[in-house]
Amino acid sequence: MGTGNAFERDKLIRFHHCDPAGIVFYPQYFILFHELVEDWFNHGLQHNYAELVYRQRLGLPMVRVECDFLSPSKIGEMLTLRLGVRRIGRSSLGLEVEGVAGGVPRVRAALTVVLADVDGLRSVPFPAELRAGIERYLTV
């Protein structure tokens, strides 16, 4: 991850994240990534994600994901997820996510998310106030 301000959250790896071998079933990482984005909005940007969706009728779907699974994460481990912004477009963000447990890198991902009107299913530009908050997390 770059040198900017990253948002960080710890996530306990639970039974429901894992396959029968007791390691994170890889699609569960995408759920964890979206939870991280929601946490970032709520706690990092101080912008209520539920209000974004239900009152403002905006969402932030992932439209592209590139992911490296570096080492298995196991049930009971604490996974520290870090999120940084690589790029801010008119209506899209390039995000980078890193997951580390016990000092060992477990997962790394590049996400592209788009601010979208959930009713019209089209992209919309970031409002100036939200964009200003997002800029604080630029890592380049």
Q: What is the pLDDT of residues 24-69, one digit of tens each?
A: 999 999 999 999 999 999 999 999 999 999 999 999 999 999 999 9
140 lies in some domain: no
11 lies in some domain: yes
Residue-number span of the structural domain to which 90 is assigned: 7-135
- Number of domains the chain contains: 1
User: Quick one: pLDDT band at residue 3, thresholds 50, 70, 90?
Assistant: low
> Where residue 115 sits, what CATH number does that domain have?
3.10.129.10
Q: What is the pLDDT of residues 107-135, one digit of tens each?
A: 999 999 999 999 999 999 999 999 999 99
**CB neighbour class for 90 (10 Å; exposed up to 12, middle 13-18, buried from 19):** exposed
Q: What is the pLDDT of residues 74-117, one digit of tens each?
A: 999 999 999 999 999 999 999 999 999 999 999 999 999 999 99
Q: For position 1, what pLDDT does the model report?
A: 65
108 lies in some domain: yes
Q: What is the pLDDT of residues 11-20, one digit of tens each?
A: 999 999 999 9
1 lies in some domain: no
Q: Where are the beta strands (DSSP E) in the chain?
A: 7-12, 58-59, 62-69, 78-88, 92-101, 104-114, 116-117, 122-123
Is pTM beyond 0.75 here? yes
127 lies in some domain: yes
38 lies in some domain: yes
